[in-house]
Amino acid sequence: MIPVEGVEDQTIAVLGLGRSGRATAAALAAGGAHVIAWDDGNDTREAAAADGLTIVDLTRDEAWHGVTALIASPGIPHLYPRPHPVIAHAYALGVPVDNDIGLFFRSYATPDWDGFDRAPRVIAVTGSNGKSTTTALIHHILQECGRPTQMGGNIGTGVLSLEPAVDGEVVVLELSSYQTDLARALTPDVAVFTNLSPDHLDRHGGPGGYFAAKRRLFAEGGPDRAVIGVDEPEGLFLAGQMQMGPTDDRVIRISSGQKLDGAAWSVFARKGFLAEYRKGRQAGSVDLRQIAGLPGAHNHQNACAAYAACRAVGLAPRQIEAAFHSFAGLPHRSQLVAQIGGVRYVNDSKATNVDAAAKALQAFDGIRWIAGGLGKDGGIGALLPHLDRVAKAYLIGHSARDFALEIGQTPHEIVETMDRAVALAASEAQPGETVLLAPAAASFDQYPNFEKRGEHFTALVHALKTE
């Protein structure tokens, strides 16, 4: 646990008592704060009270006497589409609102660091797609190279549940737009921006607000190095804002699919090969084609981002390349579940939006595509250029009929459920084809989250092997 600094003898309110909220309350208490807490769910409040937390109804005016800050969990709206009533109350009273990310960045460094030979560092990764894989890959590379490292944030361990730093450690954080938008402190040593595509627009008041939430990690964080994907206009804009000029190598530009000329420092992938250029000269290269844990152009972008971040903390190209080969990938992200009768079964349940699904579709040929769920604004028309790879689509969930109307002449069948989709796709797939779960939709119509959806697909595939 990382005790929160600067809160001794203060009364701090915590809103939301899920994983991050409970960890935040414990870290505040460890820092000497008097913690009061609230959650909209009665069962959650009762469980927290049973564990010793002081539950106070923050919807009541009298609850705010002496409160110096409100710490909100990331899933709770603080601005759009409208602030949660408790957060609105804090605004009206002039009580500062923060989250666990802000507390982490103000508390991670301690006087103990004065005795370290090498100061700990923080790499923070954000973006629309690929940030989980990029975060896990950076963490894996550091482990393989013998560097002390921890991983947390939006993946794995909550930030305040991480252990205090040790000499030379590198903490790797995945940060969502919900987390970067509200944090009052953002000071990573290396910040990574993978890419941007429309997502969470209701929460951020549109695409501009969504990008602004990501941009805060760079504009307010002031990282020593910024690794920025420049395959979209927003990335180009951000890189331009962060650089003082074309010779400024504090920005490492990355791309999947285009050669980057003229940048002081760049890492890009083309035709399966990663190349690093610095000050006009090639500094490293990696053949990505045979790396099983990083299939497809979207994973090659993740590889470029991770490679660049690791180079920024001093690792050598050959160290990074060796670690690539032992990376197994993450569950639910282009995860090879099984090969049965010459047919591959791939779980990309994390492909919850059109851009992520497009990247998954581009990674394979001869696809039996399982798609659908709770569709997002804008539909899936943008996937039409990639559907020539699809032998047949098997449509499930709430948006199955809407998807059927949008995919044109692509062979398809509305099957409603995952059970029927896997069974039918398996019966029709031919050797050399891939049964791909890439839903292009949220999971909440049939599953509590994308992980449960992917786990159901995986279990159904494993059951095929026993039939």
| pLDDT tens digits for range 121-132 | 999 999 998 899
Tell me the pLDDT tens digit for each residue of 267-298: 999 999 999 999 989 999 999 988 888 888 88
Predicted confidence band at 221 (pLDDT cuts at 50, 70, 90)?
Answer: confident
pLDDT tens digits along 406-424: 998 999 999 999 999 999 9
83 and 122 co-located in one domain: no
Over 90: is that where the pLDDT of 45 sits?
yes
Q: What is the CATH number for 125?
A: 3.40.1190.10
Q: In this structure, are 181 and 319 located in the same domain?
A: yes
Residue 83, number of CB atoms within 10 A of its CB: 18
pLDDT at 100 over 70: yes
257 found inside a domain: yes
Structure token digits, residue 131: 């940030």
State whether 409 and 304 are in the same domain.
no
CATH code of the domain covering residue 366: 3.90.190.20
Q: What is the mean pLDDT of the chain?
A: 94
What digits encode the pLDDT tens for the residues 17-35?
998 899 999 999 999 999 9
400 domain-assigned: yes
Look at residue 289 and tell me if it is in a domain. Answer: yes
CATH number, position 67: 3.40.50.720
Q: Is residue 178 part of a domain?
A: yes
Annotated binding site for ATP: 127-133
Instruction: Return the H-helix or E-strand segment holding 461.
Output: helix 450-465
Q: 236 and 373: one domain?
A: no
Same domain, 241 and 281: yes
Q: Whole-model pTM?
A: 0.84
Q: What is the mean pLDDT of residues 183-199?
A: 93
C-alpha span between 323 and 160 (Å, rounded)? 28
Is 2 domain-assigned? no
- State which of 325, 343, 358 marks the end of a domain: 325
The whole-number pLDDT of residue 35 equals: 98
CA atoms within 13 A on the CB side of 93: 22
Whether residue 467 is predicted with pLDDT greater than 70 in this model: the reply is no
For the residues 150-166, what does the mean pLDDT come to? 94
End residue of a domain, out of 279, 305, 325: 325
Residues 209, 136 share a domain: yes
pLDDT of residue 335: 87
Determine the structural domain holding residue 94 and report its residue range: 11-98
Residues 263 and 293 in one domain: yes
Give the Å distances, CA to CA, from 356 to 198, 238, 384: 11, 21, 14
Residue 88 and residue 209 in one domain: no
- Looking at the fold, whether 450 and 345 belong to one and the same domain comes out as yes
pLDDT for the residue numbered 156: 82
Confidence of residue 54 (pLDDT cuts 50, 70, 90): very high
Q: Can you say which residues are annotated as belonging to the binding site? A: 127-133
Instruction: Looking at the structure, tell me whether residues 161 and 48 fall in a common domain.
Output: no
Looking at the structure, tell me whether residues 265 and 382 fall in a common domain: no
The pLDDT assigned to 125 comes to 98
Among candidates 330, 386, 389, which has minimal Cα distance to 354? 386
Q: Does any domain span residue 6?
A: no
Does residue 355 carry a pLDDT above 90?
A: no
Domains of the chain: total: 3
Q: 439 lies in a domain? A: yes
Q: Which of 53, 75, 98 finishes a domain? A: 98
Residues 225 and 117 in one domain: yes
pLDDT band at 334, cuts 50/70/90?
confident
- Asked if residue 249 is part of any domain, the answer here is yes
Query: Do residues 28 and 107 make contact, with C-beta atoms less than 8 angstroms apart?
Result: no
